[in-house]
Structures are given as structure tokens and as C-alpha cells.
């Protein structure tokens, strides 16, 4: 029997919940939200995993796919898609295009061509609604430590299912090729992949602490001081580091806001 709880369900024994709501101006909300679960039979996770349901969990990425598909219809692969993007990226102003800014953030690392193509292929095929397809989180013991994986709800359309097949293949590829380094230099992203596709890649799930941080409320955010970062409201939504690059204070990555407001 699986233990399950959601935002509208009663609390289970051992679970404590704390919520504080703070209004920020007239548009944004900061909601520090902590769920702590202490199981009296923690050693029984293998037989009875704890499942946490997420009702709404999404972020949006603009769709560059339609125009690209028209341009490279006969050979729509990651190399041609990236070439098309390089030729057309000026059509997507830094002031208004999140996709353009995400691409620029990677460009500063001087990635080799194949890595840049793989990254853009992932952006391009990110499904509309993104993480809204996640149905539940499963916690189980793997290699003597607790790990978390995610279950996905069925895709509502055949077109979306085909798109998910592309992203599934890419996620498994990334985990098999890049997980070792990724967990050191991009721990949030790599652990999210491990949560959604770790078992499909024949690997263990994600570190629950990394996922907890990723899905926790942010305390501070805002644009950068210059260049393209001045247009990105999420640029400073990061951990605080010292002059050696060591993390001295972590914060969540979820920015709460009122309906009708969208971060640029």
C-alpha cells in the first residue's frame, strides 16, 4: 500500500506543515512552504514508498518549434534545428525572449558544437506545460540511501506523446553521458533528470535534498546589472557564494506570483 498525500488531503501521522504568506507589492507572492515527514517505520520505504503528489507544477518555455519545423522539415534533427536557431535568433529579442536568454547563458561557457546542439534540442522539445505532467514523487532506498523518482501522467494528445518520446530519449542520453560531471556543475538540473529518467537510464534516482531545494520557494530574485541579464527577472534567483565560488547559503527556485503575472 502506498502512502499518499496532496495539497488538499489531510495530514498523515508524522507529517507537519508550516506555511507563511507574504505579499510582495501588488503582483508577486513569496510563500515559504515546508513539509516535514517523519516515518515511524522509515526502514520500510522499499516495501511501502512514500508518494507525494504535486497538483500544479509548471513553467513555460516559448515554442520555437513551429517555425523551425517549416525551415528544416525534410531533415529535422538537432544539428539542423540548431543551425536554424543560429540563423534566426535575432528574431527573438533578449528583452522578451526567455529562450534567447537561456541560450545566451549557456553560450558564455563556450560549449563545443555537439553540446550546444544537444542543449538546444532539449529546449526545443520541452513539452508545453512542462512539469505539469508529473503526477507523483516516489521515495525509495537505493544503494543504502533514500532516492526520489517521479511518475508521469499519460500525455493528453498523441502529438504531445510523440514530443515526450523525443525528450525521453535525450534525457536518458544526457544521464548516461554527462551525469558524473553534471551533478558537480549543474546539480539541480542533473538531479531533476535523475528524478524523471534515472531508472530509464539504468541509474539511481535523484538526491531528495537537491529536489527539495529546486521545488522550494525562492527568497530573492531579480535581474542582473548589465547585458542580457538586465532583462531576466530570475537571474539572481541563485545560491549565495563566497569569493571562492563555494555555496554559503542556499535558496529555493520556485517563484510564487499572483494569477495573470508572468516573469520575463
Q: What is the pLDDT of residues 28-43, one digit of tens each?
A: 444 444 444 445 555 5
For residue 4, pLDDT beyond 50: no
Span 127-139, pLDDT tens digits: 765 556 788 889 9
Span 98-112, pLDDT tens digits: 888 888 888 777 788
Q: What are the distances in angstroms from CA 28 to CA 44, 204, 220, 225? A: 41, 37, 12, 21
The listed range with the strongest mean pLDDT (9-13, 64-68, 150-154, 203-207) is 203-207
Rounded Cα–Cα distance for residues 214 and 51 (Å) = 18
Rounded Cα–Cα distance for residues 220 and 233 (Å) = 10
- What is the share, in percent, of the chain residues with pLDDT greater than 90? 21
Q: How many residues does the chain have?
A: 264
For residue 70, pLDDT beyond 70: no
Mean pLDDT of the chain: 75
Rounded Cα–Cα distance for residues 148 and 100 (Å) = 32
* Alpha-carbon dihedral 110, 100, 206, 53, rounded to 10 degrees: 180
Query: What contacts 251, CB < 8 A, 6 or more positions away?
Result: 213, 216, 218, 219, 220, 237, 238, 239, 240
pTM for the predicted model, two decimal places: 0.69
Q: Where are the alpha helices (DSSP H) in the chain?
A: 65-71, 78-88, 98-107, 113-125, 158-185, 187-197, 208-214
Amino acid at each position: 500500500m502506498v502512502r499518499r498525500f496532496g495539497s488538499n488531503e489531510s495530514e498523515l501521522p508524522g507529517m507537519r506543515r508550516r506555511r507563511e504568506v507574504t505579499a510582495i507589492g501588488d503582483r508577486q507572492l513569496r510563500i515559504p512552504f515546508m513539509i516535514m515527514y517523519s516515518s515511524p517505520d522509515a526502514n520500510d520505504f522499499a516495501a511501502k514508498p512514500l508518494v507525494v503528489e504535486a497538483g500544479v507544477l509548471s513553467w513555460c518555455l516559448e515554442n520555437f518549434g513551429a517555425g523551425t519545423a517549416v525551415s528544416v522539415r525534410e531533415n529535422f534533427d538537432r544539428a539542423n534545428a540548431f543551425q536554424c536557431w543560429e540563423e534566426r535568433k535575432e528574431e527573438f529579442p533578449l528583452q522578451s525572449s526567455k529562450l534567447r536568454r537561456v541560450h545566451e547563458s549557456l553560450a558564455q561557457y563556450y560549449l563545443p558544437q555537439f553540446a550546444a546542439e544537444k542543449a538546444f534540442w532539449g529546449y526545443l522539445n520541452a513539452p508545453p506545460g512542462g512539469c505539469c505532467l508529473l503526477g507523483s514523487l516516489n521515495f525509495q532506498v537505493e544503494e543504502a540511501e533514500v532516492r526520489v523518482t517521479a511518475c508521469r501522467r499519460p500525455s493528453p494528445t498523441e502529438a504531445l506523446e510523440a514530443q515526450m518520446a523525443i525528450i525521453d530519449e535525450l534525457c536518458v542520453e544526457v544521464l548516461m553521458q554527462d551525469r558524473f560531471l553534471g551533478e558537480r556543475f549543474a546539480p539541480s538540473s542533473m538531479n531533476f533528470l535523475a528524478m524523471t529518467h534515472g531508472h530509464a537510464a539504468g541509474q539511481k534516482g535523484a538526491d531528495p535534498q537537491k529536489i527539495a531545494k529546486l521545488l522550494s520557494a525562492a527568497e530573492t530574485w531579480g535581474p542582473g546589472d548589465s547585458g542580457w541579464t538586465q532583462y531576466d527577472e530570475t537571474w539572481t534567483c541563485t545560491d549565495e557564494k563566497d569569493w571562492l565560488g563555494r555555496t554559503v547559503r542556499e535558496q529555493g527556485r520556485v517563484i510564487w506570483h499572483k494569477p495573470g503575472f508572468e516573469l520575463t
